[in-house]
Copies of this chain bind each other. A is one copy, B any other.
Amino acid sequence: MVQLTVITIGALSSHFKESVSEYEKRLSQFCTVNNVNIKESKIADEDDRTQIENALSEEADRIISKIPVGAYKIALCVEGEMPDSIKLSEIIRKASDTSGKICLIIGSSHGLHDKVKQKCNYRLSVSRLTFPHQLMRVILLEALYRSFSIIANKKYHK
């Protein structure tokens, strides 16, 4: 069974808990889901680029230490590729076949440090719109569930 690791920053708000649980339950037929929650680095002044850069760098070190060895790594970034659901399912299928381990990395509201992005196999952009990283977790779990359903040739995707 495929091992899916989802690395996120900061705690999950209560109003997203039910949808995250629901998708984790659905995903359990296709993969094991391992959640890794990274502590968010505090930024005193949200307009200070140096403080943001330092916080992202600290978070990056914590993220990198948690990536499973040999995993196919997908980083969420606004400048990434924008696949449709069929294309994403092909990426997930290949990653499942070759490595058996997939690691999804969702940064904080300031994104991800370049040193994380450079380690990743694929940079994924879901939308040009900005979303809170916690909603992004729900969105990506849905996208992964749809990918596995497409691979399994289930009726879910229309």
Contacts and interface: CB of A to CB of B under 8 A. Distances in A.
A77 B139 CA distance: 18
Interface string A13-32: 11111110110000000000
Interface in A110-158: 110, 126-132, 135, 138-139, 142-143, 146, 155, 157-158
Contacts of A138: 19, 135, 138
What band does the interface of chain A fall in when counting residues whose beta carbon is under 8 Å from B? Answer: 20 to 34
A109 interface: yes
Contacts of A157: 130
A132 to B, nearest CB: 7
Interface string A57-88: 00000000000000000000000001111001
Contact of A129 (B83, B130, B135): B83
Contact of A15 (B21, B85, B109): B21
Interface of A: 13-19, 21-22, 46, 82-85, 88, 109-110, 126-132, 135, 138-139, 142-143, 146, 155, 157-158
